[in-house]
């Protein structure tokens, strides 16, 4: 009976704090990993958004050029398209 009491006391005084300490450390590492993954995902998302914004800007410029071609009655549309086809992109 005395040995069971000593074993129980040892478990309460030493075992539980050790288990909680190890578990807490594991949780902190897991949380740090999740934060790093979230940060990487946010960076990747921001990069893709910037790429899409640049692509949309280029498309808007092209649409503006096409609108100018269509609405300007003084020029031949076919000639303007051929000149733009040879012009370098910005």
Tell whether the model's pLDDT for residue 90 goes beyond 70: no
**What's the mean pLDDT when you consider all of the chain?**
86
pLDDT at 75 over 70: no
Percentage above 90 pLDDT, the chain: 44
Tokens of 89: 């992109």
Q: Is the pLDDT of residue 74 over 60?
A: no
Max alpha carbon distance in the chain (Å)?
108
Query: Contact 61/90 with Cβ under 8 angstroms?
Result: yes
Under 8 Å between Cβ of 77 and 70:
yes
Q: Which residues contact 58 (CB under 8 A, 6 or more apart)?
A: 89, 90
With 80 as the cut, is the pLDDT of residue 24 above it? yes
Closest by CA position to 66, among listed 77, 74, 76, 75: 77
């Amino acid at each position: 009976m005395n040995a069971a009491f000593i074993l129980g006391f040892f478990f309460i005084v030493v075992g539980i704090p050790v288990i909680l300490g190890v578990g807490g450390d594991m949780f902190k590492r897991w949380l740090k990993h999740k934060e790093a993954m979230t940060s990487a995902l946010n960076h990747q998302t921001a990069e893709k958004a910037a790429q899409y914004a640049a692509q949309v800007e280029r498309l808007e410029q092209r649409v503006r050029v096409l609108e100018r071609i269509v609405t300007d009655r003084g020029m031949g549309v076919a000639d303007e398209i051929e000149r733009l086809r040879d012009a370098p992109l910005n």
